[in-house]
């Protein structure tokens, strides 16, 4: 907000202006009061965009009519002014108005004013040329172009809300369940069980926490949505015949570390699927990060680049899906369906033979790499491999394919393929995957500088060749993509058995939770299958950020003055000031690439940029090019040297990398933290679920690997909880994160702590069975109704959730089971490991010992790896099984009156055993294809009957106690 009280236009950055002498400010949208000036509104309506860019509410008809009359009666000079303003709209995007206060840097203001004057003079000349050219176009040609422009102005996507017949009952049940919970807890707290007070108190505390976690998980799903894209409209707008393709370029990031754990053939399939994607080849670049500096990865990429010359044209000629050869040739389907070309069968057989030969060569490289020579690896020219020491080696970059390099077998260009291994030196913190991704950001900015980035894990291939076009329907839509930081695709997996014993597919999370978040501020970043806006990764705020009034900020300042200033608060204020300076700079320097060296020196504050981005003028200049691209004057040899410089191990020191820009450091789950920081700046994300899954990957399917994966995720959440980025207290000053979104992020960091009450609640039933006590008093009629209402609301909530999400009951049940399995094992260890790491600096690791697996399609499912994570659930299972046996034995001994209380106690124990049943099967594994679970149940039943037999003791009658003594004497006991 300016000091005069007149807001700034969020399109051009100028003052909105007044409509009369009374001081009334012009309002374009009366629904949300989105600040847009009259000139921008006229241009938007003229271009066919008659809706508010924030809330999509159509503009007032009176405003449109006045705009049309003004256009008809305008003088040619007015048309020139509109043309100038139109160019400003299309090239300059503003930041939050708080960055435009009169208290700014006067040096910046003088530079900006001079820059604007030069810019406006150039645009007036260009606009005159445009008007003259438009006058020379014949009327017949103008009439033909109008329908085409109208079609191109249509939205590229639309929101499909969940039908009211499904979502309204769902919301009603949520509210009813919340009311029932309140009444239930009132009853539980006011009716303690005096005979088992400790057990009752523990159970009530656990139930309160479960209710709190349910609220955190449920309310972000209040407004789920679906989305639909229009790929034909995208092509009509940006791929017109006879004109250069206007689709935005995309840089793909693929990261790998150890080729022995991440097979090179899997990484190669991911790379091949990227190179063959259905997108203009000059717009695609693939960067492979080898964080282990392995010569095996380098040589396998060399083989892959050679095979790509044959594979890419084959895929595009016959529209192959998927375009990862390993998964295409192994899928079971009729490959002749819809393939009408006579040559397809012959070429497919030849290509499969070529792929088998390629696999032999790659596997030979893997076999050769099993034993490292004493002197280290040597390259083909006889020089030592620079990465022989994985922890101490220089940065390495190799461009295998490129726009002006090797062509495919048909003579066409191929996308760029670049191998990158950043510098590693002892004594430097490299930040694992997050550091490798940040290195790729800088390398790609220097070499190609695409405005969008897509990152994939090495085991996630492109399953839908049109996935990038799906994302561009959001990012390149002027009405949608202005404030979108990333488009997230769901994760889908291959190689999982149909029963999905350990919920590897995460269907509930990807098809329920993420749809709910998409209706608020967008889904969380899950680490792979994400298309980023590069400007968002640089730490900039969105161009159409809502205005933050000074009154709110001054109020918060007053509140802070009441407390003594601390060093931490001052540091945070300093960081905010640096971010404001950076945003102001990017606003004023949108088109700096159009100026000569002298003008650049006047406009760039080199020192402030270097403190943020590092000591690379080439990279800093690339950050100012909002639409991407490399300057035409760039020398390729110079760019390679600069790319080597920006991946140096000391480049990030004393910069904002990993703190405010790029992938954020401080957690093993850097994905959650990175997305959270972006949305705190005001960005939103979008969830895209095409009918054909965009990407597919592999997941650990055996029990031990799955639990360690969950352990790593939970550990990252605990690290975020104990850091300054905790959603409970971070990012309140800007007010840009919606409350339901903050609730969702809070849920992502506190869910590991549910393991503590969950373990206690799983042990309480067994203790009740062993001690004969119970946590619930004798139920009255009202209490029975409350319990029945609670159980019914839980069931109905699940049923309605399944209805609007479209997932199956089996997937929902597997998710419930693994929630208990992971909660009592991996989440518990993550809590203790997180506290030890963050508070005491002790980093603990849990050893994993593998046993042999069966040969078969799902042989890995039966691999058993013993680890300490398995101890808590195993103990809970044994305790509950023993408790059930003891409970039945006690009931048989006491008589008919004991069976009633027994059923209530046994119900909770069976609830625990039923949820841990997949864990029990995984614990037992499979030997010689004989289900050992049968042996377990046999032993269990034998133990039950044995204990019952001993408890009853049919050889002794209870009426004659002397017989017992006599028997003992006779058998000399």
Residue ending a domain, choose from 60, 82, 105: 60
What residue numbers does the annotated binding site for Mn(2+) cover?
Answer: 433, 457
How many percent of the chain have pLDDT more than 70? 70
Mean pLDDT, rounded, for 105-121: 46
Q: How far apart are CA 346 and CA 350, in angstroms?
A: 6
Q: How far apart are CA 950 and CA 941, in angstroms?
A: 14
Q: For residue 469, which of 295, 651, 280, 227 has the smallest C-alpha distance?
A: 280
Kindly indicate the confidence band of residue 211, based on its pLDDT and cuts at 50, 70 and 90. Answer: very high
Query: Can 596 be counted among the known catalytic residues?
Result: no
Query: Beta 416-421 vs 284-290: how paired, if at all?
Result: parallel
Residue 470 CA: distances (Å) to CA of 229, 462, 905: 7, 13, 53
- In terms of average pLDDT, the best of 28-42, 69-83, 403-417, 882-896 is 403-417
* 463 CB burial (10 A radius; 0-12, 13-18, 19+): buried
- Read off the CATH number of the domain in which 21 is found: 3.30.40.10
- DSSP, residue by residue, 109-148: HHHHHHHHHHHHHHHHHHHHHHHHHHHHS-HHHHHHHHHH
Q: What is the pLDDT of residue 489?
A: 95
Query: Can 291 be counted among the known catalytic residues?
Result: yes
Q: What is the pLDDT of residue 462?
A: 94
Q: Is residue 458 part of a domain?
A: yes
Higher pLDDT, 606 or 665: 665
Number of continuous H segments (helices) and E segments (strands) in the chain: 35, 15
Residue ending a domain, choose from 41, 60, 79: 60
C-alpha dihedral (357, 361, 366, 367), degrees to nearest 10: 90
CB burial string 54-86: b at 16+ within 10 A, e below: beeeebeeebeeebeeeeeeeeeeebbebbbbb
Q: Is 418's pLDDT higher than 50?
A: yes
Q: Is residue 129 part of a domain?
A: no
Q: How far apart are CA 225 and CA 774, in angstroms?
A: 44
Kindly indicate the confidence band of residue 313, based on its pLDDT and cuts at 50, 70 and 90. Answer: very high
Helices (H), 393-533: 432-447, 467-475, 507-508, 514-518
**Cβ atoms within 10 Å, residue 635:** 10
Rounded to the nearest 10 degrees, what angle do helices 871-894 and 755-771 cross at?
30
In eight-state DSSP terms, residue 51 is B
Same domain, 769 and 695: no
Map residue 779 onto helix, strand or coil: coil
Structure tokens at 163: 């039908």
- DSSP, residue by residue, 274-317: HHT-SS-GGGEEEEEEETT--HHHHHHHHHHHHHHHHHHHHHHH
Q: Is 39's pLDDT higher than 50?
A: yes
Kindly indicate the confidence band of residue 393, based on its pLDDT and cuts at 50, 70 and 90. Answer: confident
Q: How far apart are CA 758 and CA 212, in angstroms?
A: 13
Place of tokens 């790896």: 865
Q: What is the pLDDT of residue 228?
A: 92
Backbone angles phi, psi at 661, to 5 degrees: -125, 155
Q: Is residue 456 part of a domain?
A: yes
For residue 866, list its beta bridge partners. Answer: 849
Contact (Cβ atoms closer than 8 angstroms) between residue 31 and residue 52: yes
Cis peptide before 594 (omega within 30 of 0): no
Q: Is 934's pLDDT higher than 80?
A: no
Q: Is 192's pLDDT higher than 70?
A: yes
Predicted confidence (pLDDT) per residue in 447-459, tens digit? 989 999 999 998 8
Place of tokens 């009426």: 959
The helix (H) or strand (E) run that includes residue 416 is: strand 416-421
Q: Is residue 348 part of a domain?
A: yes
Kindly indicate the confidence band of residue 55, based on its pLDDT and cuts at 50, 70 and 90. Answer: low
Structure tokens at 771: 């001690």
Q: What is the pLDDT of residue 895?
A: 63
Mean pLDDT, rounded, for 736-745: 88
Map residue 37 onto helix, strand or coil: coil
Same domain, 201 and 237: no
Q: For residue 81, which of 118, 35, 130 has the smallest C-alpha distance?
A: 130
Same domain, 477 and 366: yes
Residues 6+ apart with CB under 8 A from 685: 484, 485, 486, 487, 488, 518, 521, 522, 523, 524, 525, 675, 678, 679
Structure tokens at 98: 């708080």
- In terms of average pLDDT, the best of 99-103, 128-132, 872-876 is 872-876
Q: Is residue 581 part of a domain?
A: no
Contact (Cβ atoms closer than 8 angstroms) between residue 398 and residue 298: yes
**Domain region containing 340:** 232-543+657-699
Same domain, 173 and 284: no
Predicted confidence (pLDDT) per residue in 371-383, tens digit? 888 888 888 878 8
Q: Is 115's pLDDT higher than 70?
A: no
Active site residue: 42, 96, 290, 291, which one?
A: 291
Q: How far apart are CA 502 and CA 648, in angstroms?
A: 41
Structure tokens at 483: 């404030």
Structure tokens at 442: 């800088």
Mean pLDDT, rounded, for 523-533: 92
Q: For residue 575, which of 503, 659, 642, 506 has the smallest C-alpha distance?
A: 659
Residue ending a domain, choose from 635, 666, 699: 699
Q: Is 345's pLDDT higher than 60?
A: yes
Structure tokens at 521: 């501020």
Q: For residue 912, which of 840, 817, 833 has the smallest C-alpha distance?
A: 817
Mean pLDDT, rounded, for 329-335: 76
Active site residue: 251, 408, 581, 671, which one?
A: 671
Contact (Cβ atoms closer than 8 angstroms) between residue 310 and residue 408: yes
Q: Is residue 730 part of a domain?
A: no
In eight-state DSSP terms, residue 331 is S
Place of tokens 């399109």: 11
Q: What is the pLDDT of residue 338?
A: 61
Across the chain, mean pLDDT equals 76
Same domain, 175 and 311: no
What residue numbers does the annotated binding site cover?
Answer: 255, 261-262, 291, 432-433, 457
Mean pLDDT lowest for which of 291-300, 348-357, 561-570? 561-570
Mean pLDDT lowest for which of 12-16, 172-176, 279-283, 782-786? 12-16
Break the chain down into helix, strand, coil percent, rounded to 5.
55, 10, 35
Same domain, 666 and 791: no
Q: Is 268's pLDDT higher than 90?
A: yes
Mean pLDDT, rounded, for 58-83: 45
Q: What is the pLDDT of residue 175?
A: 93
Same domain, 215 and 254: no
Q: What is the pLDDT of residue 578?
A: 44
Structure tokens at 122: 């150039």
Q: How far apart are CA 31 and CA 109, in angstroms?
A: 34
Rounded to the nearest 10 degrees, what angle do helices 917-924 and 899-915 cross at?
60
Q: Is 554's pLDDT higher than 70?
A: no
Kindly indicate the confidence band of residue 120, based on its pLDDT and cuts at 50, 70 and 90. Answer: low
Residues 6+ apart with CB under 8 A from 926: 854, 862, 932
Mean pLDDT, rounded, for 641-651: 89
Mean pLDDT, rounded, for 517-538: 91
Q: How far apart are CA 127 and CA 846, in angstroms?
A: 68
Q: For residue 830, which of 879, 875, 872 has the smallest C-alpha distance?
A: 872
Q: What is the pLDDT of residue 530?
A: 94
Same domain, 393 and 286: yes
Same domain, 823 and 676: no
Please state the domain count of the chain. 3
Q: Is residue 100 part of a domain?
A: no
Same domain, 804 and 920: yes
Q: Is 768's pLDDT higher than 90?
A: no
Q: Is residue 650 part of a domain?
A: no
Q: What is the pLDDT of residue 355?
A: 93
First to last CA, the chain: 94
Rounded to the nearest 10 degrees, what angle do helices 703-721 and 670-680 cross at?
40
Q: What is the pLDDT of residue 35?
A: 79
Residues 6+ apart with CB under 8 A from 291: 255, 256, 257, 421, 422, 430, 432, 433, 436
Same domain, 456 and 316: yes
Q: What is the pLDDT of residue 389?
A: 86
Residue 9 CA: distances (Å) to CA of 28, 95, 115, 480, 734: 10, 10, 19, 18, 20
Kindly indicate the confidence band of residue 857, based on its pLDDT and cuts at 50, 70 and 90. Answer: low
Q: Is 87's pLDDT higher than 50?
A: no
Map residue 18 onto helix, strand or coil: strand
Same domain, 901 and 851: yes
In eight-state DSSP terms, residue 221 is G
Mean pLDDT, rounded, for 585-607: 51
Q: Is 352's pLDDT higher than 60?
A: yes
What residue numbers does the annotated binding site for UDP-alpha-D-glucose cover?
Answer: 255, 261-262, 291, 432
């Amino acid at each position: 907000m300016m000091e005069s009280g007149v807001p700034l236009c969020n399109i051009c950055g100028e003052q909105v202006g007044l409509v009369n002498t009374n001081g009334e400010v012009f309002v374009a949208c009366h629904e949300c009061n989105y600040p847009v000036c009259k000139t921008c509104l006229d241009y938007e309506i003229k271009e066919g965009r008659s809706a508010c860019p924030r809330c999509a509410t159509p503009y007032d008809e009176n405003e449109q009519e006045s705009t049309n009359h003004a256009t008809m009666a305008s003088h040619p000079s007015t048309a020139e002014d509109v043309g100038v303003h139109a160019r400003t709209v299309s090239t300059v995007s503003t930041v939050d108005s708080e960055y435009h206060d009169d208290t700014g840097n006067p040096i910046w203001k003088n530079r900006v004013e001079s820059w604007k004057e030069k810019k406006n003079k150039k645009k007036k000349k260009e606009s005159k040329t445009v008007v003259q050219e438009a006058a020379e176009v014949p009327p017949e040609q103008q009439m033909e172009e109008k329908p085409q422009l109208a079609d191109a102005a249509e939205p590229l996507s639309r929101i499909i809300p969940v039908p009211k017949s499904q979502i309204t009952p769902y919301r009603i049940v949520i509210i009813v369940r919340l009311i029932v919970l309140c009444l239930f807890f009132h009853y539980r707290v006011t009716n303690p069980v005096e005979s088992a007070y400790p057990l009752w108190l523990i159970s009530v505390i656990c139930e309160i926490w479960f209710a709190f976690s349910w609220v955190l998980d449920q309310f972000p799903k209040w407004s789920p949505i679906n989305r639909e894209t229009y790929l034909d409209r995208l092509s009509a707008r940006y791929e017109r015949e006879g004109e250069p393709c206007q689709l935005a370029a995309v840089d793909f990031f693929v990261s790998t570390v150890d080729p022995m754990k991440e097979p090179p053939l899997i990484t190669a399939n991911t790379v091949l699927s990227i190179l063959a994607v259905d997108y203009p080849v000059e717009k695609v670049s693939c960067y492979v990060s080898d964080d282990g500096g392995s010569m095996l990865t380098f040589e396998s990429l060399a083989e892959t680049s050679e095979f790509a010359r044959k594979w890419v044209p084959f895929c595009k000629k016959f529209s192959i899906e998927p375009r990862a050869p390993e998964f295409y040739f192994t899928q079971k389907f009729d490959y002749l369906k819809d393939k009408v070309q006579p040559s397809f069968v012959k070429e497919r057989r030849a290509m499969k033979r070529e792929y088998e030969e390629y696999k032999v060569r790659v596997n030979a490289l893997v076999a050769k790499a099993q034993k490292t020579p004493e002197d280290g690896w040597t390259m083909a020219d006889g020089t030592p491999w620079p990465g022989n020491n994985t922890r101490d080696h220089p940065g390495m970059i190799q461009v295998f394919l490129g726009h002006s390099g090797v062509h495919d077998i048909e003579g066409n260009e191929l996308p760029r393929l670049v191998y990158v291994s950043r510098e590693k030196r002892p004594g430097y913190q490299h930040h694992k995957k997050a550091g490798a991704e940040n290195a790729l950001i800088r390398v790609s900015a220097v070499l190609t500088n695409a405005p969008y980035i897509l990152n994939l894990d090495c085991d996630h291939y492109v399953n839908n060749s049109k996935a990038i076009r799906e994302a561009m329907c959001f990012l390149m839509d002027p009405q949608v993509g202005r404030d979108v930081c990333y488009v997230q695709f769901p994760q889908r997996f291959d190689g999982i058995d149909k029963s999905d014993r350990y919920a590897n597919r995460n269907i509930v999370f990807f098809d329920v939770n993420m749809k709910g978040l998409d209706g608020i501020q967008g889904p969380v970043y899950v680490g792979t299958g994400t298309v980023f806006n590069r400007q968002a990764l640089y730490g900039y705020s969105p161009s159409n950020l809502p205005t933050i009034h000074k009154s709110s900020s001054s109020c918060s300042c007053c509140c802070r003055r009441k407390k003594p200033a601390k060093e931490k608060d001052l540091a945070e204020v300093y960081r905010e000031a640096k971010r404001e300076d950076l945003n102001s700079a990017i606003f004023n320097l949108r088109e700096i690439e159009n100026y000569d060296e002298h003008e650049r020196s006047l406009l760039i504050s080199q020192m402030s940029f270097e403190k943020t981005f590092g000591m690379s003028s080439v990279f800093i200049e690339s950050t100012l090019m909002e639409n991407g691209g490399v300057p035409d004057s760039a020398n390729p040899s110079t760019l390679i040297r600069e790319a080597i410089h920006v991946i140096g191990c000391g480049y990030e020191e004393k910069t904002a990398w990993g703190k405010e820009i790029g992938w954020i450091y401080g957690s093993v789950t850097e994905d959650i933290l990175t997305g959270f920081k972006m949305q705190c700046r005001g960005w939103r994300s979008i969830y895209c679920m095409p009918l054909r899954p965009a990407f597919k990957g592999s997941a650990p399917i055996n029990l031990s690997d799955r639990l360690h994966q969950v352990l790593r995720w939970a550990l990252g959440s605990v690290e975020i909880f104990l850091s300054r980025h905790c959603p409970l207290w971070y990012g309140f000053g800007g007010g840009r994160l919606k409350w339901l979104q903050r609730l969702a992020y809070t849920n992502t960091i506190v869910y590991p702590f549910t393991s503590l009450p969950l373990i206690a609640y799983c042990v309480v039933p067994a203790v009740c069975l062993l001690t004969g006590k119970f946590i619930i008093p004798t139920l009255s009629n009202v209490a029975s109704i409350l319990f029945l209402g609670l159980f019914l609301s839980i069931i109905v909530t699940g049923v309605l959730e399944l209805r609007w999400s479209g997932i199956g009951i089996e997937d929902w049940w597997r998710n419930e089971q693994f929630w208990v399995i992971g909660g009592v094992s991996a989440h518990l260890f993550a809590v203790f490991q997180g506290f030890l790491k963050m508070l005491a600096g002790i980093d603990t690791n849990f050893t994993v010992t593998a046993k042999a697996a069966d040969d078969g399609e799902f042989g890995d499912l039966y691999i058993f790896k013993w680890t300490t994570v398995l101890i808590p659930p195993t103990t809970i299972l044994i305790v509950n099984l023993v408790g059930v046996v003891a409970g039945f034995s006690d009931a048989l001994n006491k008589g008919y009156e004991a069976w009633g209380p027994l059923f209530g106690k046994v119900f909770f124990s069976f609830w625990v055993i039923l949820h841990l049943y997949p864990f029990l099967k995984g614990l037992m594994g499979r030997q010689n294809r004989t289900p050992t679970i049968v042996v377990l149940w046999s032993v269990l039943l034998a133990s039950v009957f044995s204990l019952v037999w001993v408890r009853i003791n049919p050889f002794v009658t209870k009426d004659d106690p002397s017989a017992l003594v006599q028997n003992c004497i006779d058998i000399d006991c």
